[in-house]
Amino acid sequence: MLQKGAHVRRSETLKDRLKDKASQLTPAERFLSDTLLNDYPMSGLQSITKLADAAGVSTPSVIRLARKLGFDGFPEMQAALREEASAQIRKPILKREGWPEGRKDSPAFRNFAETVFENLDQTIKRLDPATFDALAKALADTQRNVFLLGGRITRSNADYFFNHLQIIRPGVTLLSQSPNVWPQYLIDMGPSSVLVIFDIRRYEADLARLADLAKQRGVVIVLFTDQWGSPISKSADHVINALVEVPSSWDSTLGINLIVEALIAAIQTQRLEKARDRIEALEDMFRSTRIFRK
């Protein structure tokens, strides 16, 4: 049970609570927090003794941290982590079974829409303004080549971002979906490159391997992922977490696209004059080739 008066949102994870309480943690609790986040959520599924030893603190420190995060003690905190781990690996076909029935007297569409609105709200609240600004600056910098890639579900997000970035600035590449040809892109990546990866559950091993290889070449890694965080989070330079769970057998990427569209607007603003010239030149090409027009 949560402590009396505590209120935790349905979508709130232990990772969120650790971040929310970061400024209130003692040195010992910060060591614990770092240990939990370094191998999240698996680090918190071991015994309280092993967790304390890994962080170099006492077992009472673990209990105090659990209570500070709103749990009655370590067992309840660990149960919450087990539930998160279970949600991450749940197959799409089984996901709907764990979702509560539709709200009373509400049609399916309203139930879905209200969940999406909640996801968008929580995604906005979790967004670090400094991270957003750093991303917009890096992606607007034409001294950096930008590469994009999505997974089985998120390839449309990568394609959408690519189409807009390509209009705003030069030096943008959308990687092929075939891992067999990725080395042909990697050869052109280096410290001045940015690799934008979209990866939500079920996380794809090929994307993680690509991120590792790019990291070895000094590439800046930008990750768009879900609230639990792809394994690529550990090596990414910038991470955007968006809520994706909806009453469906499939996850929703509307939260991710909200951030993508906001970035597109910010990047275009930073490159206002040059972007305008580029867009006008593109329009001239459309007119001369009569594409989209009779």
Cα–Cα distance measured from residue 287 to residue 290, given in angstroms and rounded to the nearest whole number = 5
Q: Which residue(s) pair with 147 in the sheet?
A: 173, 195
Q: Can you tell me which residue has the tokens 């971002």?
A: 161
3-state secondary structure of 158: helix
Domains and CATH numbers, the chain: 14-89 (1.10.10.10), 122-289 (3.40.50.10490)
Mean pLDDT over residues 189-214, rounded?
96
Among 123, 126, 181, CA closest to 149: 181
Q: Convert the pLDDT of each residue in 131-175 to its tens digit.
A: 999 999 999 999 999 999 999 999 999 999 999 999 889 999 999
Is the model's pTM score more than 0.85? no
Asked if residue 245 has pLDDT above 80, the reply is yes
Which range among 9-23, 134-148, 172-186 shows the weakest confidence by mean pLDDT? 9-23
* Structure tokens belonging to residue 4: 């009396």
Under the banding of pLDDT at 50, 70 and 90, the label for residue 217 is very high
- The encoded tokens of residue 279 equal 């867009």
